Amino acid sequence: MRVGVCILGVALAVPSSARPLFPPPHFSQIGLASPEIAQARAQLDAGEFEAALKTVQAGLDAPDVTDDQLVELYRLQGLTALYLGDETLARAAYEKLLQARPDFELARSAPPKIRALFAKLKEDIKSRRLRPVTLEVDPIPDPTPGEPVVVTATIQDMALGARARLFYRRVGAQGFNSVDFSRERGAPEHYRATVPAYELPAEPTSYEVEYYFEVADAAQRRLAGRGDSYQPLVFQVMPRAVAAPAVAEDTSRPWYKSPWLWVAVGAVAIGGTAGVVALSSSGERGRVPITVRVDPQ
Domain boundaries, the chain: 2-127, 134-237, 255-293
The DSSP bridge partners found for residue 214 are: 165, 225
Residue-wise pLDDT tens digits, 114-161: 788 778 877 776 666 556 788 999 999 999 999 999 999 999 888 777
Report the relative pairing of strands 182-184 and 187-195 from DSSP bridges: antiparallel
Whether the CB-CB separation of 118 and 81 falls below 8 Å is answered with: no
- Per the document, the length of the chain is 297
Please give the DSSP secondary-structure letter assigned to residue 122. H
98: closest CA among 46, 45, 162?
162
Beta bridge partners of 151: 193
Count of Cβ atoms closer than 10 Å to residue 172 Cβ: 8
pTM over 0.85: no
Amino acid at 278: A
Return all residues near 112 (Cβ < 8 A) that are at least 6 apart.
none
61 dihedral zone (left: phi>0; alpha: psi -120 to 50; beta) = alpha
Angstrom distance (rounded) from CA 198 to CA 212 = 19
Query: Longest Cα pair distance anywhere in the chain, in angstroms?
Result: 134
134 pairs with which residues across the strands? 156
When computed from its CA atoms, the radius of gyration of the chain, rounded to whole angstroms, is 39
Neighbours of 43 (CB within 10 A): 20
Closest to 168 (Cα-Cα) out of 187, 143, 185, 189 = 143
Look up the CATH number of domain 134-237: 2.60.40.10
Q: What string of pLDDT tens digits covers the 297 residues of the chain?
A: 444 554 444 444 444 444 444 444 433 334 457 889 999 999 999 999 999 999 999 988 887 777 778 888 988 998 899 889 898 888 888 877 776 676 777 778 877 877 887 788 777 766 665 567 889 999 999 999 999 999 999 998 887 778 899 999 999 998 999 999 998 877 778 999 999 999 999 999 999 999 999 998 766 778 889 999 988 999 999 997 754 455 555 555 554 545 444 444 444 444 444 444 434 444 444 444 544 454 554
Report the alpha-carbon distance of residue 71 to residue 78 in Å, rounded: 11
pLDDT tens digits for 79-90?
899 889 898 888
Q: Do 84 and 49 touch, CB atoms closer than 8 A?
A: yes
Using alpha carbons, list the distances in angstroms from residue 258 to 57, 255, 262, 265.
Answer: 85, 5, 7, 11
Closest CA to 58 of 77, 45, 80: 77
